[in-house]
Amino acid sequence: MRACVPLIVALLCGLTWAGKMESCASRCNEKFNRDAACQCDRRCPRHGDCCDDYEDLCTGEENLEEAEPFLELEEEMEEAPGSNLYSAPNSCRGRCLEAFDKHHSCHCNARCEEFGNCCEDFESLCAHEGFSHSSDAITKEELQSISEKIYKVDTNKAQKEDVVLNSQNCIPPSETRDQVDHCPEPLFTYVNEKLFSKPTYAAFINLLNNYQRATGCGEHFSAQQLAEQDAFLREVMKTAVMKELYGFLRDQNRYSSEQEFVNDLKNMWFGLYSRGKDKGDSSGFEHVFSGEVKKGKVTGFHNWIRFYMQEKEGLVDYYSYIYDGPWDSYPDVLAMQFNWDGYYKEVGSAFIGSSPEFEFALYSLCFIARPGKLCRLSLGGHSLAIQSYTWNKSTYGNGKKYIATAYVVSSTQ
């Protein structure tokens, strides 16, 4: 893919630049300083203007809970901590394993005991959740190892000749709200549609049109559509990708049988909950892979196959991108802006050229291992992270939570 040129996004696009640089020594977490040559506030990774030593000096273990995702999708944050999803801000009810939020008076994350800022009912409500200090927690090293294994066995991914992109213009993050079309041509120049005849691709595509994209409109699945959900799960479980994931989670004592794993996947991804006024109007799968429209904005929609098919039909207009991943083969990552049949997506990150089972596996892994947190992975020797959020208004089976969203962010840590 084409690299970014504008100086303001040099760090986003993996470039280096010369000139006057300052240090973050004694400046960590300071407010934005317009007169400084570089910044040390928590938003500088997002805006690409951190000092060179920001990561070394300001992103130690004590700050990781507060660090913002590198590419935070603001329209996603209605499901994020700090919203009105919690029944009581001074309680851990519905908040176990949430990400750190400095606005809360007490906390329910994995390190609150270490910092002495847990809510009073933390132990009684969250002891069963499996925090990082427990003996059965999944470590960062284990996540990196299993993600590399999943990456290597994704034989259904696109080859370089299967997908040709025309990424065109890279813009700075400060311009993403302008809704200006900087790219006159489509994103996809060519896709080898023979990929779509592979069993997992075909089963995945069958699911995409089973949803009403407007939140507030209840979903009512036919018998055939329910069968298509089962068919998708059946096909992905045949792949080396999902077998690798299941074997890992089984060894971690998360599941005792493959059927238990599949049942949980079906609930967390396809179980319906209510984002809008109508009951059962959304699910994790609809939000992440098919896309939704809420309050006049596109939410979710993080899948390249869906994007390509909608662009081919003239329903998606590609506007620009702000991040192009470091991979020189597929899967890659692109963070972009686009218009979906009259509705704008300010920042939409997506794997490019990955198989459906690859995305499904990594999002599932991170939701299970790091719900509500940044999940740091390694793919082909390059770091990235996945951010997921739980849906806290309703649960399934023993209080388990549905997927509210999951998406790729870049990880420079």
Higher-confidence residue of 56 and 179: namely 179
Of the options 4.10.410.20, 2.60.40.10, 3.80.10.10, 2.40.40.20, the CATH number for the domain spanning 1-59:
4.10.410.20
pLDDT digits (tens, 9 = 90+) for 219-252: 889 999 999 999 999 999 999 999 999 999 999 9
Confidence band of 127 (pLDDT split at 50, 70, 90): low
Q: How far apart are CA 325 and CA 1, in angstroms?
A: 8
Of the pLDDT bands very low, low, confident and very high (cuts 50, 70, 90), residue 129 is low
The catalytically annotated residue of 107, 294, 302, 401 is 302
287 is catalytic: yes
pLDDT band at 74 (very low <50, low <70, confident <90, very high): very low
pLDDT of residue 50: 79
Q: Which residues pair with 395 in a beta bridge?
A: 401
Predicted local confidence at residue 66, as pLDDT: 34
Residue 196 pLDDT: 98
How large is the angle between the packed helices 199-208 and 356-369, nearest 10 degrees? 70
Band (pLDDT 50/70/90 cuts) for residue 55 is low
Q: Write down the catalytic residue from 287, 294, 373, 401.
A: 287
How large is the average pLDDT for residues 40-49? 69
Residue 48: predicted pLDDT: 64
Confidence of residue 80 (pLDDT cuts 50, 70, 90): very low
Tens of pLDDT, residue by residue over 26-37, are: 788 777 777 788
Residue burial 95-114, b: 16+ Cβ < 10 Å; e: rest? bbbbbbbeebebbbbbbbee
Q: pLDDT of 254-285, one tens digit each?
A: 999 999 999 999 999 999 999 876 688 899 99
What pLDDT is attached to residue 99? 76
Alpha-carbon gap, residue 68 to 42, rounded angstroms: 7
Listed by start position, the domains of the chain span 1-59, 140-410
Q: What percent of the chain has pLDDT over 70?
A: 80
pLDDT for 87 equals 33
Please answer whether residues 375 and 143 qualify as being in contact, where contact means their C-beta atoms are separated by less than 8 angstroms. Answer: yes
- Cα–chain-centroid distance for residue 172? 21
- Whole-number pLDDT of residue 67: 34
Q: Judge whether 182 counts as a catalytic residue.
A: no
Average pLDDT score, the chain: 82
Task: Say which residue, 84 or 403, is predicted with more confidence.
Answer: 403
* Helices 258-270 + 356-369 axis angle, to 10: 90
pLDDT of residue 45: 66
Each residue of 322-356: pLDDT tens digit? 999 999 999 999 999 999 999 999 999 999 999 99
